[in-house]
């Protein structure tokens, strides 16, 4: 990886970054006029080569580390990746620390108070914490069946956002499901106490926390639960500072090693659960029952393409006008258009619907459950979606005409899909990601979440790929 050290390079931040990379990159190439920085790096025994010291040396680099304004401007013009750390928000950080200590005390007192309700002498078997997002659950759920077959009764602590999916597909493998409203758990002490009461009623033999990017919610729950063995993986620090991670590590009885390589999330789950399961060939699959029922319920006009316009964060949502341009292209090919998304996308969906011509268009934003979205996609000819949970559902049901618009966040961890998970997956990425995918994978997994503007991806970029696919 070729890294240019900008004029604003901070030694400590650079060394922290390099420390996280030293298992990935045997050879790092640098260019900088700041010789003292290079001296510091060399003392850390990292493999370093220095590029030529020409003024335009950074034009040949994959990443500019902490550029000044001039270097930043040149990087933008040349579509070169650059890293500028976010300025710490002191007030916000202070409030987070205050909230952390408040809930540590709150949980400690709750543990003492609720001890009297805990069933004595009786232990349940396995409790699993899976409180992250819908897409994460889709990439995890296939391990529930073999875990149930081997360990019997399972208690799953999950995100309420995917409860309907769980009830539809996986409830037979779990004895007890405890849904968590993440926002309420962090902000409402009364709701938190209610959840802690449910958690404290039972004792367990084994607790598994398979989250690779553990967060405050998963860690505080793991700390609170009574279990003989508490097991997690080394993981990363995407959602927890290194200090918090070290603090919570102390409450586990076993921390399994995890590969330092950037790994697709389903394979990351395989890495974790291989320790507990003899079967290393668990398929990535979501089996639908009666998928045709949605055709009549929503009066879907076949053939149709699905536009999934929702996403968990605004920066992951492609513009309505871009969806309209692609929707009209698909309509000209004889496809009707079905628009899906969340309740918050209803108005945008209506705007897109009104601007689709040539064929019938239907706006179902906020009108479907997740399992119904799966069936709608299953019956559709094409899916164009933001990089979000719908894509993971589509892959799990083995749909093979999936077109994904993504600004490259967590590249190679959640997108694109590896070939061994079956079917075709067409990722359309920001120009900077397309220019150097390998460098961007390192950047988005080890430095910061993607801040690239998803709308730098043009509708014509998507249409070109669709044309090639239709010709094929």
DSSP letter for 317, please. P
The confidence band for 46, taking pLDDT boundaries of 50, 70 and 90, is very low
Identify the pLDDT of residue 92.
Answer: 79
Cα–Cα dist 222/116, whole Å: 20
Instruction: Give the bridge partners for 129, in sequence order.
Output: 157
DSSP string, 418-443: PGGG-S-EEEEE-HHHHH-HHHHHHH
Identify the pLDDT of residue 39.
Answer: 44
Identify the pLDDT of residue 122.
Answer: 72
**CA dist 198 → 176, 217, 218, 252, 423 (Å):** 11, 15, 15, 21, 41
For the chain, what is the mean pLDDT? Answer: 88
Q: Confirm whether pTM is higher than 0.85.
A: yes
| 47 close to 26: Cβ distance less than 8 angstroms | yes
Structure confidence by residue, pLDDT tens digits, 108-129: 999 998 888 877 767 788 999 9
DSSP string, 283-305: ------SSTTHHHHHTT--SSEE
Instruction: Tell me: pLDDT of 221 over 90.
Output: yes
Instruction: Tell me: pLDDT of 153 over 60.
Output: yes
The confidence band for 91, taking pLDDT boundaries of 50, 70 and 90, is confident
Token pair recorded at residue 456 = 């730098």
Instruction: Tell me: pLDDT of 96 over 50.
Output: yes
Token pair recorded at residue 255 = 């921390």
Identify the pLDDT of residue 30.
Answer: 56
Q: Bigger pLDDT: 360 or 86?
A: 360
Please give the share of the chain, as a percent, with pLDDT higher than 70: 90
Helix (H, G, I), strand (E, B) or coil at 458: coil
The confidence band for 247, taking pLDDT boundaries of 50, 70 and 90, is very high
Instruction: Tell me: pLDDT of 235 over 70.
Output: yes
Instruction: Tell me: pLDDT of 37 over 80.
Output: no
Please give the share of the chain, as a percent, with pLDDT higher than 90: 62
Pairing state of beta strands 425-429 and 402-406? parallel
Structure confidence by residue, pLDDT tens digits, 4-35: 888 888 878 887 777 666 655 545 555 555 54
| 179 close to 160: Cβ distance less than 8 angstroms | yes
Cα–Cα dist 464/444, whole Å: 26
Q: Bigger pLDDT: 79 or 391?
A: 391
CA-closest candidate to residue 155, choices 227, 72, 240, 88: 227
CA-closest candidate to residue 396, choices 417, 379, 380: 417
Beta strands across the sheet bearing 203-209 = 176-180, 154-159, 123-130, 203-209, 226-233, 254-256
């Amino acid at each position: 990886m070729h890294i240019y050290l900008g004029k604003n390079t901070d030694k400590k931040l650079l060394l922290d970054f390099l420390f996280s990379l030293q298992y990935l990159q045997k050879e790092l190439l640098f260019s900088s006029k700041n010789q003292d920085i290079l001296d510091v790096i060399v003392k850390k025994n990292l493999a370093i080569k220095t590029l030529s010291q020409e003024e335009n040396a950074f034009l040949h680099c994959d990443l500019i580390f902490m550029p000044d304004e001039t270097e930043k401007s040149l990087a933008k013009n040349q579509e070169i990746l650059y890293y500028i750390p976010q300025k710490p928000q002191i007030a916000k950080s202070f409030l987070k620390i205050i909230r952390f200590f408040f809930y540590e005390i709150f949980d400690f007192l709750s543990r003492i108070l609720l001890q009297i309700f805990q069933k004595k002498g009786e232990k349940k078997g396995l409790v699993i914490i899976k409180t992250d997002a819908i897409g994460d659950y889709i990439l995890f759920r296939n391990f529930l069946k073999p875990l149930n077959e081997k360990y019997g009764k399972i208690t799953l602590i999950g995100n309420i956002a995917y409860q309907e999916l769980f009830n539809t597909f996986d409830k037979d493998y779990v004895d007890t499901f405890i849904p968590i409203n993440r926002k309420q758990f962090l902000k409402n002490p009364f709701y938190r106490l209610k959840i802690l009461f449910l958690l404290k009623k039972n004792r367990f033999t084994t607790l598994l926390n398979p989250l690779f990017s553990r967060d405050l919610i998963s860690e505080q729950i793991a700390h609170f639960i009574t279990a003989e063995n508490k097991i997690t993986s080394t993981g990363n620090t995407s959602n927890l500072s290194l200090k918090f991670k070290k603090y919570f590590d102390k409450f586990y009885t076993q921390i399994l090693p995890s590969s330092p390589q950037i790994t697709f999330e389903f394979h990351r789950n395989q890495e974790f659960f291989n320790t507990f399961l003899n079967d290393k060939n668990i398929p990535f699959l979501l089996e639908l029952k009666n998928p045709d029922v949605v055709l009549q319920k929503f009066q879907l006009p076949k053939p149709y393409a699905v536009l999934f316009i929702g996403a968990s964060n605004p920066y992951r949502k492609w513009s309505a006008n871009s969806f309209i341009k692609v929707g009209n292209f698909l309509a000209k090919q004889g496809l009707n258009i079905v628009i899906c998304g969340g309740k918050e996308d209803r108005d945008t969906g209506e705007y897109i619907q009104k601007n689709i011509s040539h064929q019938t268009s239907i706006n179902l934003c906020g009108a479907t459950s997740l399992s119904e979205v799966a069936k709608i996609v299953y019956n559709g000819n094409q899916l164009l979606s933001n990089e979000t949970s719908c894509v993971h559902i589509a892959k799990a049901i083995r749909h093979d005409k999936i077109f994904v618009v993504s600004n490259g966040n967590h590249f190679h961890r959640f997108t694109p899909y590896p070939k061994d998970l079956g079917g075709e997956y067409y990722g359309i990425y920001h120009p900077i990601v397309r220019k150097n995918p390998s460098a961007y994978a390192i950047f988005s997994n080890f430095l910061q979440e993607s801040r690239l503007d998803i709308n730098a991806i043009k509708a014509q970029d998507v249409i070109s790929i669709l044309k090639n696919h239709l010709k094929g």
